[in-house]
Structure 1
């Protein structure tokens, strides 16, 4: 059963989004590409969500087009204002996404609060993972601040917030339970990481000759960022190859990005280089 809610103002148990928020600071940072497709893969490892993608999405036929259609409204939800954001638009994309889980008598609906919240949780967790891994180690106070800001973000969708943990500590427990006990190797998730071993398919917009030149460099890098950027449990379930040596390389790679010279240089680049265009529009509006 779906539960929809109306919310236009941050509640007392949440913090607002805006130029001073940590969600704005990190979510639109262009270094976010370094985490690979972590949130998308983890989303599809929830059986109900993965099946919705499998049954209803163009993800398999045209992955690039699916991303182009999905990503802008998410950013416009985060970087929009309280009265002008894309939250309900994102929600309404999912009204028709429902069906049955194969081999069971269970039904799924994308707007079921537990299913919808999992998708949101993966986006919020990507902020924690990205910042801790490639920017700086977050303090307990920063972790809590991000969590309280994320409540405002989630409520913009107009979906019941019944599953939403009250504090960051509660979210940690929720996340650990989901990753260790609930997620599965759904075919949608396995498809999404198939290029790790098979190579990335040529994007439709790229000329075959160009792809032949780029692929030998792009594919190993994509595999490295994808596999290294997933929790160990997800790598295990998806049967992704990852050695101790690769882990050491990944940690050195992350430490390089966190190093003071690199972060100092990044912080002194123009905002148009550091942030996605959606974030720039939000900061310009103030």
Structure 2
């Protein structure tokens, strides 16, 4: 993180980087850990961590509030924004999709509570949004699939640098090593603030999942109890403590112990899960990509080569 980060994030100056895309332009492929784990269906366990950490930064939370339909069409927004980002990893033409994602953000600008400006293509904001996806691969894999070694975490970070190049935005605030990324992540957690976007997006974790209008509320309270119990243990368990605090989400040592038991069980059954049909194990865009390159990823990179770092 540059020493003038506070002023840099308030510049509100878009900084796209347009370079000629060739057959040799950097891209991710089936030999990467990101291909192996990003499209795994277990990544859905980290959906709230991904979306929440991104929007706990005030500028990004305000950008969503000002320019998104999250308050009126939450699921629709997720369906529209998720696939293009996934295609920056798995599509045959990832640079096209990277530029598509980038250019979608060109008109997204405004001001935050202190009157300072923001722009979605400001490098500090755009990189933070990308960092939450790198974190998702690291966190979900290490928590729910298998423990990663320090070398593997560093590899995923390096692959994340290649991934970021695909968008074509200045990398001036990008950490240069995995160790710098960890420090950067911890500092950004300290910038989390409550805002309407993140409060609305996590309302179901505080109030419970809303039921269908045609179902009597007493009946839904009974039927939804196990769903809400799972969400308040597993989904809330994935969130950094700083996010739980700004979102007003209850947590205690008893819940933490339950969450860790669930995570350990998920890792133990990884060899069984990896025997599922490919279509059941991967999201559609990742499944199509593995089929396209003619590689079965299930036997690949399932065991660490060194002692994992907890």
| TM-score w.r.t. length of structure 1 | 0.90
1:155–1:110 distance in 2 versus 1, CA, 3 Å: same
1: CA distance, partners of 2:292 / 2:161: 22
Is the aligned partner of 1:244 residue 2:253?
A: yes
Residue in 2 aligned with 1:127? Answer: 137
How many residues get paired? 277
In 2, are the aligned partners of 1:193 and 1:226 still within 8 Å (CA)? no
Aligned to 1:2, which of 11, 14, 19? 14
**Where does 1:74-223 land on structure 2 (aligned, <5 Å)?**
74-81=85-92, 85-102=96-113, 104-179=114-189, 181-202=190-211, 208-209=214-215, 212=220, 215-223=224-232
Q: Secondary structure at 1:145's aligned position in 2?
A: helix
In 2, are the aligned partners of 1:10 and 1:152 still within 8 Å (CA)? no
Per-residue CA deviation, residues 23-43 of structure 1 (Å, 9 max, x unaligned), is 011110001122241010011
**Structure 2: runs of 5 or more not aligned:** 1-12, 294-310
2: CA distance, partners of 1:38 / 1:136: 18
Distance apart, 1:164 and its partner CA: 1.1
| TM-score w.r.t. length of structure 2 | 0.83
In 2, are the aligned partners of 1:195 and 1:223 still within 8 Å (CA)? no
1: CA distance, partners of 2:44 / 2:257: 20
In 1, are the aligned partners of 2:236 and 2:244 still within 8 Å (CA)? yes
Is the aligned partner of 1:33 residue 2:44?
A: yes
In 2, are the aligned partners of 1:59 and 1:66 still within 8 Å (CA)? yes
Is the aligned partner of 1:23 residue 2:23?
A: no
In 2, are the aligned partners of 1:76 and 1:85 still within 8 Å (CA)? no
Residue in 1 aligned with 2:9? Answer: none
In 2, are the aligned partners of 1:10 and 1:16 still within 8 Å (CA)? no
2: CA distance, partners of 1:134 / 1:87: 28
**Structure 1: runs of 5 or more not aligned:** none
Per-residue CA deviation, residues 150-198 of structure 1 (Å, 9 max, x unaligned), is 112111111111111111111111101111x212122211111111111
**Where does 1:43-58 land on structure 2 (aligned, <5 Å)?**
43-58=54-69
Q: What is the CA RMSD across the aligned residues, in angstroms?
A: 2.2
